Structure 1
Amino acid sequence: MTAHILVVEDDESFIEELKQIIAASGGPTIPTFVSNREDAVAKLESGFFDFAILDLKIPTAAGTTDFDPEHGKYVFQHVRKVSPGTKILVLTGSPSDDFIAPLLAHKHDADIWSEGGKVGTVEFLKKIELDQAPEKISRVVTAIHALAEIELHTNGLNLSTGEDRLVRIFSKTFKAVVCSVHPIGTGKSGARPLRLQMYDQTGAPIRDVVAKLSELAKMQDEDARYEEHVTLLDGAATPRKMKLLEFGAGAMAGLFYQLANGHDASMFKTMAEEDALAAKAVAATADALAGWSDGKNQERRSIASIRGQWVSDERAAKLQAEYGLDWAAEFENRMIQTRWCCVHGDLHGENILVSPEGGVLVIDYGDVGFGAAAYDPMTLELSAVLQANPTLGPAWPTADACRQWHDLEAYLMGCPIPEFIRACRAWSEKLMVGRRELAACAYSYLLRQLKYPDTDKDRILALLEGVHGCWGDS
């Protein structure tokens, strides 16, 4: 496992000494040397670094002589901004430590590479004490090299360096020696959901895990949503959070959840193989999430405020204009009764894992928050015809069927998964105050899907016609 090191230093004598120290650090390394603020920022924007060694008193650009500690501080802050998981060693030649205190505010103590003990994510070293640098640099290189002890089976997946780091660090935390990595779903959030199967040195399975990997801010946000909302639900159908990894992977962080044994198929896969089992799993999902909606009061809200939880006003106006939804502005101004409560927010068929008996595990909590109660079952129902899954092709729903969405029996003519669709609609009807809420939730989800470049726009627009027709029946 190769350690990627960024060195920001302008003094040639120190550069040569650091090159020798890094070369003798006890493991493979790829050091990148830059001498000024501009080049450092450019490297940080384009590369991955496990470790950054920063001189503070540097110039702004090559060929300039405006040496100032402020330029080094800028690079420090930029590392924290674009690569917050990167450990930093600050080199200073100044006899004064006055400027160190503000930088120490960014220091954390963490077991960055699962070594079994915490280290500082930010350290300082005076240049007159450079004899201490070999130990500090060697410790980082050795810790990263030790991650190679984890045998990773990627099963054809192409993991980025940061993703690879996170999986190995997590596996090492639980003393796994082998970890097999499998994809889960094809979400549109930019996060990478993975399924990990870990094994100990005897070959025995340790634990199946759901990992979600993305930029640090997103993972911290999902962690907070989990603590606020998901912990209130029945733990049998929601995975227990195991760990949030914030350091060791550059710009990336990871959330890891315990996966119950036997939940090997997604809802999409289940409906492709057995419609009745998928319908049973929908009912189990409704029961699992009932703690969010049971006993919640109704509210009077505009359709625009319901849509606004998922699509901004500015984006909605652009989509309405681009796709000729002339009726949408007046539609959004209408007030309806709704049950306002916590919802999953992204309950498509890949975010529900199903057991052979129809039990479920609901995963991925990046969008958990408040919304209209019927939004989750509407998302699940409509995801089956809009997101990539193994069930449906171009034959159903036809454009004519989509326009009959508000008439369930007409909509289901020729449907290959009628029991699943009926179960979703029954769940919606259980939660909704009336059909106007049903229309508002479906409209919000469909407008959200128009944002993405790879969705079937003709199908969405035809479904929107069917949703608009729902209002006339309500």
Structure 2
Amino acid sequence: MKILIVEDDVEFVGEIQSRVTAICREPSYTIAGSFQEASSAIESDFFDLIFLDLKIPTVPGGMDSDPQHGRNLLDIAIANAPGTPVFMLTGSSAEQFLSDMMALSHQVDIWGQGKVLPLIGFQPKHRLDMLDDKIKPYIDAFDSVCEVELDLSCEISIPTNRLIRIFTASVGGVFCKVARINSGLSVASVYKLEVNDGSGSRIHNSIAKIGPPSEIQDEVERHDRFISRLEPNATPRKVAVLAHGAKKTSGVFYSLASASELNGFSFIENDSLALIERLKDCVHPWTVSATQRRTTVKDIRRIFIDDDAFKAVSHLIANDWTEKFETNPIYVMWGCVHGDLHGLNILVSPGSVPVLIDYGDVGEGPLSTDAITFELSVFFHPEGPYKNIEWPSESTALSWGQPEFIDDQCPAPEFFSECRKWAETVSVGKRERAAVAYGYLVRQLKYENCNISRVNALLSGVKKLFDTA
């Protein structure tokens, strides 16, 4: 257990350490005797529990000890480690802040043990003999989480490690096999979890998305608003949202019916027709509720990349038609879309049933977005199967979105043909498909190691498709 003790009295520090060590399995201590040291530690390091004496000096050895400094540190802890429990060590000088600080505390199940604990605890310094009973529930809960064993196939951060252990313990698991399944470009990461109980039985096949609280909260809200409209077998069931015990990291956890090593990229050259038909069935409730609307190419592009980011990469576009192109009015079928339907966001069960994951971009947009994103992701996703091949040539790319795009060198004729037909089926026409592909392609320019020449070649095909409408 990583513990920060903010206290400038050496003897008092020793007393806290002695009491914690007596009941904690493997404590690791960091000592900060001033506001300066403590604020730096809270911002840069990870802690499972913080002891905070309110009356501390601003700098090491300073003579300006004041409870206001500790009160300010509490605000820093809440801002930088909102999921970390803090124990306030209070004296008579802190009475002016007590009601204010107590109002900030709330009861949460910090480590998934089914027991709620105050996120901010209070201990009078003159009654330190009562500290043991107050902190024991925290330490016992944390030690129980640490009993979970992880089998990692990838490196994970300490906060991610904590959240996966907390989830595993909360569902009654003792062993969890962890694999990263999405190496995309989001700040958050997606993992596949296989959870076993004490008898060795599999009790959960799960998907976890872990990242900044704002991104996880956004995903949860999109799931509740849009994903709930789909049939249950099209998406995993949300089972937990964890926002404590991992500093400034949160996670949302979903339950899968069964585990699988297959994803959308697995079917590019094998049975892509059946997969795409099943994908169309998955999103059918979104498709049938879509309506036609008038918009502009620029507004479609803004869904993929905002004006500031676009301006920063526009010099990489090897033509001079984009400014006028973006002013074109178009009609689109407007409805709910996944928004980031690359191959790794499509898990395929052993029964060949596709399941959609990762809902950070789910929302309303042109209905052809998912079909076009799936098609082009084979070229531009970091794990896209055609990321490094030479096809299509510049002349072939000029026919993107049309049957002629599939030439003798095409590595997966059925896949590209079915993606095009899917996009045609759900769009108003060529102009919608061209605008969506334009938005997707120019967004790729903001990513490191983007194949700029391929983007420009396909953009020429996009413009040609638009002009034929």
Instruction: Tell me the TM-score normalized by structure 2.
Output: 0.94
* 1:2-401 to 2 correspondences below 5 Å: 3-94=1-92, 97-155=95-153, 157-261=154-258, 263-272=260-269, 274=270, 277-389=271-383, 391-392=385-386, 393-401=388-396
Structure 2 counterpart SS, 1:405: coil
* 1:425-440 to 2 correspondences below 5 Å: 425-440=420-435
Deviation at 1:100, TM superposition (A): 2.9
Q: Which moved more, 1:9-18 or 1:241-250?
A: 9-18
Q: Which moved more, 1:92-101 or 1:37-46?
A: 92-101
Q: Is the 2:117–2:138 Cα contact (8 Å) retained in structure 1?
A: no
Q: Is the 2:316–2:452 Cα contact (8 Å) retained in structure 1?
A: no
Structure 2 counterpart SS, 1:338: strand
Describe the superposition over 1:117-136 as per-residue Cα deviations: whole angstroms up to 9, x where unpaired: 11111112221222222233
Q: d(CA) in 1 for partners of 2:159 and 2:266?
A: 29
Q: Which moved more, 1:112-121 or 1:165-174?
A: 112-121
Between the two proteins, what is the percent identity of the paired residues? 35
AA in 1 matched with 2:309: R
Q: Which moved more, 1:81-90 or 1:128-137?
A: 128-137
Describe the superposition over 1:167-218 as per-residue Cα deviations: whole angstroms up to 9, x where unpaired: 1111111111221112212111021211111112222211211111112221
List alignment gaps of at least 5 residues for structure 2.
none
Deviation at 1:304, TM superposition (A): 1.4
- Quick one: structure 1 residues 73 and 425, their matched pair in 2 at CA, closer, same or farther if it must change by over 3 Å? farther
AA in 2 matched with 1:418: P
Q: Which moved more, 1:139-148 or 1:336-345?
A: 139-148
Describe the superposition over 1:417-468 as per-residue Cα deviations: whole angstroms up to 9, x where unpaired: 2211222111111111111110111111112211111332221222122112
Describe the superposition over 1:68-97 as per-residue Cα deviations: whole angstroms up to 9, x where unpaired: 333222221222222221111112213564
- Quick one: structure 1 residues 436 and 86, their matched pair in 2 at CA, closer, same or farther if it must change by over 3 Å? same
Q: d(CA) in 2 for partners of 1:288 and 1:245?
A: 28
AA in 1 matched with 2:392: P
Describe the superposition over 1:88-114 as per-residue Cα deviations: whole angstroms up to 9, x where unpaired: 111221356442333334323222112
AA in 2 matched with 1:111: D
Q: Is the 2:192–2:208 Cα contact (8 Å) retained in structure 1?
A: yes
Deviation at 1:258, TM superposition (A): 0.8
Match of residue 410 from structure 2: 415
Q: Is the 1:84–1:216 Cα contact (8 Å) retained in structure 2?
A: no
Q: d(CA) in 2 for partners of 1:161 and 1:218?
A: 18
Q: d(CA) in 1 for partners of 2:23 and 2:143?
A: 11
Structure 2 counterpart SS, 1:67: coil
Q: d(CA) in 1 for partners of 2:263 and 2:196?
A: 23
- Quick one: structure 1 residues 385 and 28, their matched pair in 2 at CA, closer, same or farther if it must change by over 3 Å? same
AA in 2 matched with 1:387: H
Structure 2 counterpart SS, 1:455: coil
Q: Is the 2:290–2:336 Cα contact (8 Å) retained in structure 1?
A: no
Q: Which moved more, 1:218-227 or 1:145-154?
A: 145-154
Q: d(CA) in 2 for partners of 1:33 and 1:384?
A: 51
Q: d(CA) in 1 for partners of 2:241 and 2:259?
A: 24
Q: Is the 1:113–1:248 Cα contact (8 Å) retained in structure 2?
A: yes
AA in 2 matched with 1:114: G
Describe the superposition over 1:15-53 as per-residue Cα deviations: whole angstroms up to 9, x where unpaired: 222222233233111111112222222212221111111
Q: d(CA) in 1 for partners of 2:42 and 2:205?
A: 34
Equivalent of 1:462 in 457, 460, 466 = 457
Q: Is the 2:316–2:445 Cα contact (8 Å) retained in structure 1?
A: no
Instruction: Tell me the TM-score normalized by structure 1.
Output: 0.93
Structure 2 counterpart SS, 1:99: helix
- Quick one: structure 1 residues 70 and 175, their matched pair in 2 at CA, closer, same or farther if it must change by over 3 Å? same
List alignment gaps of at least 5 residues for structure 1.
none
Q: Which moved more, 1:106-115 or 1:357-366?
A: 106-115
Q: d(CA) in 1 for partners of 2:56 and 2:398?
A: 65
Q: Is the 1:278–1:358 Cα contact (8 Å) retained in structure 2?
A: no
Q: Is the 1:27–1:142 Cα contact (8 Å) retained in structure 2?
A: no
